[in-house]
Amino acid sequence: MNKQTKQALIFVAILLAILAVFQFADIGSPKTKESTITEIKQLVQDKKVSEIRVKGSKIEARVDGEVLIAYIEKSAQLSDYQITPDNVNIVVEDPDKGSLLPNLLTIFLPFLLIAGFLYFMLKSATGSNMRAMDFGRSKAQLYLGKHKISFADVAGAEEAKQELEEVVEFLRYPEKFRRLGAEIPKGVLLVGPPGTGKTLIARAVAGEAGVPFFSVSASEFVEMFVGVGAARTRDIFAKAKRNAPSIMFIDELDAIGRQRGSGLGGSHDEREQTLNQILVEMDGFNPGTKVVVMAATNRPDVLDPALLRPGRFDRRVMLDLPNKKERKAIFEVHLKNKPVDKTVNAEKIAQGTAGFSGADIKNVANEAAIFAARQNKKTISQNDLNWAVEKVFLGPERRSKVLSEKEKEITAYHEAGHAIVGHILPGTDPIHKISVVSRGMALGFTWSVPLEDLHLSSKEKFEDQIAQMLAGRVAEEIQFNSITTGASNDLKNATKIARDMVTRYGMSDEIGPMTLGEKEELIFLGKELAEHKTYSEKSAALIDQEVSDIINEAKKRAYQVLAKHKKMLKQIAEKLLKEETIEGEDFARL
């Protein structure tokens, strides 16, 4: 219930109470009845009247607990009507003097009602104005001491933490640096893929320094009204300065920090005004202001150069996807407060989760806990974690998606083809699992896991990967003399790798070591909507020919491997049809 509703209910309750006073004020009074002066005269003569009250022209006669009311002329007296009561108590009251409470209520109640109505009207109008003014106020969340996070809660990212230790030192002991003429960094830009812990590490910096932490999403600055973004920018910077020393964190900076004037048909004016205000505010910091602006983005390439110059975002801290050692540490952090079986091997799980971000690992730990709870287990086992890894990486199982026997057989040979070529060619990763159980949009899958984290890929590795991708389609041709749509995603990925080999990595003997084509991004209309050709039509035809040659050569290699191991292809496909899933160790033994 909001405040205005509560006030309205209170007002209605008071009004009802006043009406109740009017209604029940005379509950204890005798019952009244209209009468005539003649009837009262007769009752007096019969000595049935115990008391008579005279209020001007109003006569009240009390008879056996009942009050009879009659009226006489204003100038008349009881004796004029030959009413001469004996042994009757007669009370004469001033007609102008009545009960105090009813008189007061009669006078003031209309004014109270009008005043109450005006009050709520003004209150409503003021509330509307305040809500309108709230558009210019920042929606930043302030974290003071609640849920304090330190660097100990951030597993991995050791280099990033070392870089940010200086910011913590600046905020804790500013005089130590000022004595030598050093200035506190005005801005720190955290750069990395989604889920790598940019927001978490920013909060950890605030927790380590023991200062207020203001967090806001860049998209919250922009509204439909012009000037709101700039007003909110001024508001959050003012709050941060009032609470200095403090940290102000802007998440997804690229939402408002994109390069100005680069949108199709002109960029969004409101975004540009907001960005201009941020630049002005950061320039407005004097050297003594103990406010550090931290921002996070996974697209530093689209940011306006004015944001990245020294004096604004002085530091750029990179947060990459965690390596095997860091993944193990992150798993241990997220499993720390969960009941885990003693047989759980965090290192083995980290081995099979190459390419997972910190957010993915957190999700795996949570999914494992949910799965164990559904099974009524008391602890989380290694199998629960393996199941969770598969769900996060491949999607949920879809056992309800029933395939015909023919489709299931085609899928089994398709996945067996991927697995055999992936096992034999040296440039592919070891097979972790093969299955014909539908997951996500796939009818089946062959899951390969690298033995170590790789940062470079060779031409030979790309060629082997393309051959493995095409092996499913080749296996269908060998066994059924036909092809299906099941290889559509394989063809898409293989074509992309082949084209990148030619146009980006210079791995074509015909074209040579050069990059062809530049991606153009229309900033406010999405990602890579156009590609600027820096080559002729003749070169374009040559690129297409080279891509085709790479794919056809890879297909030939896959065909040679599967034709040579046709017996093994049939054996693995039949095992898949029977068991639905083959683990990597069992496959290697086959």
- Region 437-466 average pLDDT: 86
Both structure tokens of 281 = 């505010």
Please tell me which residue, 245 or 8, carries the higher pLDDT value.
Answer: 245
Q: Percent of the chain scored above 70 by pLDDT?
A: 77
Dihedral (C-alpha) 266, 267, 269, 272: value to the nearest 10 degrees? -130
- 452 — pLDDT class (breaks 50, 70, 90): confident
Please tell me which residue, 83 or 506, carries the higher pLDDT value.
Answer: 506
Does residue 129 carry a pLDDT above 60? no
pLDDT 10s digits, 519-551:
555 444 444 445 556 778 888 899 999 999 999
- 265 — pLDDT class (breaks 50, 70, 90): very low
pLDDT 10s digits, 134-181:
544 555 556 555 557 888 888 888 888 888 888 888 888 878 877 888
| Of the candidate ranges 105-109, 169-173, 288-292, 335-339, the one whose mean pLDDT is the lowest | 105-109
- Do residues 340 and 383 touch, judged by C-beta distance below 8 A? no
| Of the candidate ranges 42-51, 207-216, 220-229, 494-503, the one whose mean pLDDT is the lowest | 220-229
Whether the full predicted model's pTM is greater than 0.85, yes or no, is no
C-alpha span between 254 and 468 (Å, rounded): 37
Which domains are present in the chain?
A: 30-95 (3.30.720.210), 141-259+268-318 (3.40.50.300), 324-394 (1.10.8.60), 405-589 (1.20.58.760)
CA contacts within 13 A on the Cβ side of 444: 29
| Of the candidate ranges 93-97, 131-135, 147-151, 486-490, the one whose mean pLDDT is the lowest | 131-135
Query: For residue 443, what pLDDT is reported?
Result: 84
Residues with a known catalytic role: 415
Tokens 């990179």 belong to residue: 318
For 62, the 3-state DSSP assignment is: strand
Query: For residue 356, what pLDDT is reported?
Result: 87
Both structure tokens of 500 = 């990148």
When the pLDDT of each residue in the chain is averaged and rounded to a whole number, the result is 79
Query: For residue 96, what pLDDT is reported?
Result: 59
Query: For residue 492, what pLDDT is reported?
Result: 94
pLDDT 10s digits, 171-225:
888 788 778 887 777 888 999 888 888 888 888 888 888 888 888 888 777 665 5
Closest CA to 248 of 258, 261, 234: 234
For 322, left (φ over 0), alpha (ψ -120 to 50), or beta?
beta
- Region 278-300 average pLDDT: 78
Closest CA to 8 of 110, 112, 119: 119
Total residues belonging to the chain? 590
Tell me the CA distances in angstroms from 41 to 82, 87, 172, 370, one per residue in order.
Answer: 8, 14, 100, 93
- Do residues 435 and 445 touch, judged by C-beta distance below 8 A? yes
Both structure tokens of 21 = 């006073």
C-alpha span between 273 and 284 (Å, rounded): 16
Query: For residue 536, what pLDDT is reported?
Result: 82
User: Which sign, positive or negative, has the C-alpha torsion 164, 165, 166, 171?
Assistant: positive
Query: For residue 3, what pLDDT is reported?
Result: 64
Surface-to-core class of residue 17, CB atoms within 10 Å of its CB (0-12 exposed, 13-18 middle, 19+ buried): exposed
- Do residues 198 and 240 touch, judged by C-beta distance below 8 A? no
Please tell me which residue, 137 or 477, carries the higher pLDDT value.
Answer: 477
Q: Percent of the chain scored above 90 by pLDDT?
A: 18
Does residue 132 carry a pLDDT above 50? no
